[in-house]
Amino acid sequence: MSYRYFEEYDINVTEKLRNNFKQVLEEVEEDPQREGIVKTPERAAKAMQFLTQGYNMDAEKILTDALFTESYDEMVVVKDIEIYSLCEHHMLPFFGKAHVAYIPNGRIIGLSKLPRLVDVFARRLQVQERLTHDILECLNKVLKPQGVAVVIEAQHMCMMMRGVQKQNSVTTTSGFRGQFEKIETRSEFLKLISSDLR
């Protein structure tokens, strides 16, 4: 069977949001009946549900569903995980990359679960600092590894298209637990995420 794209939305929530977005258009003196905008309130309602779907996802369960016993005890790094989130202050996007690593302590997780974990927390109204912390603490709690590291680099539309309007600014946040609190281990991780090994 060929790929089929499917999204599901709560009808009641969609209708409430649609009415709210229609009112926003009216308040900024746009005609909600104009041809190019007549379906915008419904589209925006569905987009908002998609962009905040992380509230309805269980991050810990995503990890526990793919835990495996394994003796490997060296660093596992998944870098350049794309992030798209909404700033909770202005509800404007911020986007960039997350780099996540852990050192197993008898258990590993399926590699695809790290990007999924990132998405669960990114698909909420967020600040980059809390996003970094949420990913770090969830991994640390569920895996109980020897160490966890998270670095996020992102650009914020609230700084680029409004406010200070700085187009080239990039915000970097980081968090480290366990073995990554040691300078040697942290340095190895930072070197790995800045290298192009391809």
- Residues belonging to the binding site are 87, 90, 158
**Residue 99 known to be catalytic:** no
* Catalytic position from the list 15, 42, 53, 90: 90
* Catalytic position from the list 87, 99, 126, 179: 87
* Catalytic position from the list 15, 42, 53, 158: 158
- Binding-site positions for Zn(2+) read 87, 90, 158
Joined together, the tokens standing for residue 197 give 């090994």
Alpha-helical runs (H) found in 28-168: 40-51, 59-64, 113-122, 128-143, 157-160
**Residue 88 known to be catalytic:** yes
* Catalytic position from the list 30, 60, 70, 88: 88
**Residue 87 known to be catalytic:** yes
**Residue 146 known to be catalytic:** no
Distances, alpha carbon 56 to alpha carbons 17, 84, 123, in Å: 17, 17, 10
Q: Are 115 and 77 in contact (CB under 8 A)?
A: no
**Residue 128 known to be catalytic:** yes
* Catalytic position from the list 26, 82, 89, 129: 89
The whole-angstrom separation of Cα 129 and Cα 107 is 27
**Residue 89 known to be catalytic:** yes
Helices 113-122, 128-143: crossing angle, 10 deg rounding: 140
* Catalytic position from the list 49, 128, 146, 179: 128
Residue with token string 């911020």 = 94
Catalytic residue numbers? 87-90, 128, 156, 158
